Amino acid sequence: MKILLVDDDNDKARDVSRVLLEAGVHDQRDIEHVTNAYDAAQALRRSKFDLLILDLVIPNTKTDDPKADGGKLLLRDINGRPGFIHPTYIIGLTSFDDARENSTIDFNRGLWTIIKFDRSSSDWIDMIRSRIRYIQSSEAATTAGANYGVDLAVVCALREPELRAVLGHDYDWQKTEKPLDPTIYWKGTWQDRKGNLRTIVAASAGNMGLVAASSLTAKMAMHFRPRVIGMCGICAGREGDTELGDVIVANPSWDYGSGKFSNGDGGSDFAPHPTQIPLSPTLRRVAEMVADDGSFLDSLRRSYSGSPPKTALKLRIGPMASGAAVRADDSFFEELAKANRKVLAVEMEAYGVFATANEMPSPRADVLVVKGVSDFANSNKEDSFQDYAAYVSSACLLEMIERHFSE
């Protein structure tokens, strides 16, 4: 594996190199470090790199001062000018929030990721390690000739209402079983918009929660080797930022119970320290397409046979927290916001699906979790919109998958 690290901060570059070596890069000589855009361009014209880690605030040459848009301009040169040997993967890395915001569009255009570098947090370390594992597993799968099985595996928390909503879509479902496995699986097919025959499998866990969802995800990944693992169902939304019936696409997902308890003046205090797993850029793009398709969402709302919420159906992409239990507590979301201030939803399974899929052997699946808001996790919690939330979340998940495989 060959990596180009572009960063004018030598201390930061040493920290990143150490993480790369700990993550499985075999030799320091596999990491080429340059400090400016000119030297990076020369390297990218000379060699093929598996991964480019690009600081966003870099100088043009060794003698220049760093520029706030130096990394962004280099990325535009790589994409727009001839003579560059494109790296397989690109990661942006910055300590500066304004540089990140100014470069987001350019990185999204190439489906690349920007990571916040923060020595007080391990999130950037976890994300780099995850990318290195992904590259290594992709290389191993290519070498070994590993193949995917089905196109989509749908993990449902329960048979009612989640799995019932999925099986309500016409995929010519057939019941199937695996030896020594108590789970009942449903396999189906559909023809995508290009005329290709696609395959789907769906199942429900025996119980709600992270452990049950994780176990089912692992079994489906091993049995069926899906390209995408999807999950639909119900969640609690953040009142004021969501409406009942809204569909939430998890990005990122984390376990809100991950952290540390310590003794404080008024008793024990909890300091959250979660690993947040993002949605893949490719699936985020199709989620954004569906979110912008008002006619599809309006038609979906009107197609529900029961009584939908009074508000228009909206699809929102945002942070979703998972935990062992969901509380009916008016202050719950204020606590969750300590880990991610933009949190939109909370439920009991998504992180288990993301985390398990990330650790499975190759060929590894992407993950897409889509859930409908059935309550606000407050003292007025009630269940009247669960069927609607399951209905619209399953339809949105399948619409995203259809568009994903038809591009």
Check whether residue 310 and residue 260 sit in a common domain. Answer: yes
- The reported pLDDT for the residue numbered 338 is 80
Last residue of a domain, one of 144, 173, 205: 144
Check whether residue 161 and residue 122 sit in a common domain. Answer: no
Last residue of a domain, one of 123, 144, 165: 144
Check whether residue 120 and residue 175 sit in a common domain. Answer: no
CA gap 388, 392 in Å, rounded = 6
Is a pLDDT exceeding 70 seen at residue 381? Answer: no
Check whether residue 221 and residue 123 sit in a common domain. Answer: no
- The reported pLDDT for the residue numbered 165 is 97
Count how many residues are written for the chain. 407
Check whether residue 259 and residue 183 sit in a common domain. Answer: yes
Our measurement of the distance from residue 137's CA atom to the centroid of its chain's CA atoms, rounded to an integer in Å, reads 18
CATH number for the domain including 381?
Answer: 3.40.50.1580
Check whether residue 276 and residue 376 sit in a common domain. Answer: yes
Per-residue confidence band for 187, with pLDDT thresholds at 50, 70 and 90: very high
- The reported pLDDT for the residue numbered 257 is 82
Per-residue confidence band for 225, with pLDDT thresholds at 50, 70 and 90: very high
Check whether residue 55 and residue 107 sit in a common domain. Answer: yes
Which tokens belong to 26?
């075999």
pLDDT by residue (tens digit) across 338-379? 877 889 999 999 999 999 999 988 788 999 999 999 998 876
- The reported pLDDT for the residue numbered 329 is 67
pLDDT by residue (tens digit) across 61-99? 999 999 999 999 999 999 888 889 999 899 999 999 998
Per-residue confidence band for 330, with pLDDT thresholds at 50, 70 and 90: low
Contacts of 50 (CB under 8 A, 6+ apart): 1, 2, 3, 87, 88, 89, 135
Count of CB atoms situated within 10 Å of the CB of 391: 26
Contacts of 325 (CB under 8 A, 6+ apart): 348
The residues pairing with 235 across neighbouring beta strands, listed in sequence order, are 373
Are the CB atoms for 394 and 166 separated by under 8 Å?
Answer: yes
Per-residue confidence band for 5, with pLDDT thresholds at 50, 70 and 90: very high
Check whether residue 86 and residue 177 sit in a common domain. Answer: no
Last residue of a domain, one of 95, 127, 144: 144
CA gap 8, 57 in Å, rounded = 8
Check whether residue 87 and residue 132 sit in a common domain. Answer: yes
Check whether residue 191 and residue 305 sit in a common domain. Answer: yes
- The reported pLDDT for the residue numbered 327 is 66
Q: Which of 76-80, 105-109, 390-394 has the lowest mean pLDDT?
A: 105-109
Per-residue confidence band for 127, with pLDDT thresholds at 50, 70 and 90: confident
Global confidence as pTM: 0.65
Q: What is the CA radius of gyration of the chain?
A: 22
Catalogue the E-assigned strands of 67-112: 89-94
Number of domains in the chain: 2
Check whether residue 171 and residue 129 sit in a common domain. Answer: no
Q: Which of 18-27, 143-152, 300-309 has the lowest mean pLDDT?
A: 143-152
Domain residues for the domain of 119 are 3-144
Average confidence (pLDDT) over 241-256: 94
CATH number for the domain including 133?
Answer: 3.40.50.2300
Per-residue confidence band for 145, with pLDDT thresholds at 50, 70 and 90: very low
Check whether residue 33 and residue 67 sit in a common domain. Answer: yes
138 vs 32: which has the higher pLDDT? 32
